[in-house]
Amino acid sequence: MKRRDFIKTAALSSIAAGAFSAPAIAEEKETIEWKMVTTWPKNFPILGTSANKLAEVIEEMSGGRIKIKVYGGGELVPAMEVFDAVSRGTAQMGHGSAYYWKGKVEEAQFFSTVPFGLNAQEMNAWLYHGGGMELWTVTYEPFGVVPAAAGNTMVQMAGWFNKEINSVEDLKGLKMRIPGLGGEVLRRAGGTPVNLPGAELFTSLKSGAIDATEWVGPYNDLAFGFYKAAKYYYYPGWHEPGTTLEAIINKEALESLPKDLQSIVMYACKVVNQDMSTEFTAKNNAALDTLINKHNVDVRRLPDDVLEKLKALSEEVVLELAGKNPAAKRIYESYAKFRKQVIAWDDISEREYLNIR
If asked whether residues 208 and 316 sit together in one domain, one would say yes
Q: How far is residue 41's CA from residue 27's CA, in Å, rounded to a whole number? A: 37
Q: How many domains is the chain partitioned into structurally?
A: 2
Instruction: Return the pLDDT at 16.
Output: 40
Q: Cα 224 to the chain's mean position, in Å?
A: 18
Distance of CA 234 to the CA centre of its chain: 22
247 Cβ contact list (under 8 Å, min separation 6)? 54, 93, 94, 95, 147, 148, 149, 150, 269, 272
One-letter amino acid of 240:
E
Residue 336 domain flag: no
For position 132, which CATH number holds?
3.40.190.170
Q: Which residue range forms the structural domain that includes residue 134?
A: 31-153+242-281
Residues 235 and 192 in one domain: yes
Angle at 82 between CA 90 and CA 254, to 5 degrees: 55
Same domain, 174 and 303: yes
Rounded Cα distance between 269 and 271, Å, is 5
Same domain as 71, residue 52:
yes
pLDDT of residue 161: 98
Is 334 among the domain residues? no
Q: What is the pLDDT of residue 184?
A: 96
Residue 335 is predicted with a pLDDT of: 98
| 330 close to 111: Cβ distance less than 8 angstroms | no
What CA–CA distance (Å, rounded) separates 83 from 39? 10
| Model pLDDT, residue 84 | 98
The DSSP code for 209 is: S
Q: What was the pLDDT predicted at 22?
A: 40
Q: Give residue 20's pLDDT.
A: 37
Q: Are residues 41 and 188 in the same domain?
A: no
Structural domain includes residue 173: yes
User: Which neighbouring-strand residues pair with 152?
Assistant: 244
134 & 246 share domain: yes
Question: ∠320-323-327 over CA atoms, to 5°?
Answer: 130
Q: Are residues 71 and 192 in the same domain?
A: no
- Residues 6 or more apart whose Cβ sits within 8 Å of residue 96: 38, 39, 40, 79, 82, 83, 245, 246, 248
Answer yes or no: do 44 and 169 share one domain: no
Do 239 and 214 form a contact (C-beta atoms < 8 A)? yes
Sheet containing 32-38: give its strands across. Answer: 66-71, 32-38, 93-96, 244-250, 145-152
Spans of the chain below 50 pLDDT: 1-4, 6-27
Distance, CA of 60 to CA of 67 (rounded, Å): 9
220 and 248 housed in the same domain: no
Same domain for 209 and 261, yes or no, is no
Last residue of a domain, one of 224, 252, 281: 281
Q: Which of 195, 180, 202 is nearest to 105 (CA)?
A: 180
58 and 135 co-located in one domain: yes
Q: Are residues 74 and 203 in the same domain?
A: no
Ordered DSSP codes for 110-168: GGT--TT---HHHHHHHHHHSSHHHHHHHHHGGGTEEEEEEEE--S---EEESS---SG
What order of strands is seen across the sheet that includes strand 212-213?
Answer: 192-194, 175-177, 212-213, 159-161, 232-235, 298-301
Say which CATH number the domain at 222 has.
Answer: 3.40.190.10
DSSP 232: E
Q: What is the pLDDT of residue 28?
A: 56
**CA 171 and chain centroid, separation:** 27
pLDDT for the residue 172: 97
Q: What is the pLDDT of residue 129?
A: 98
Asked if the structure places residue 42 within a domain, the reply is yes
HEC readout, 298-344: EEEECCHHHHHHHHHHHHHHHHHHHCCCHHHHHHHHHHHHHHHHHHH
* DSSP category for residue 243: P
Q: What is the pTM of this model?
A: 0.88
Distance (Å, rounded) from C-alpha 238 to C-alpha 98? 18
- Domain contains 348: no
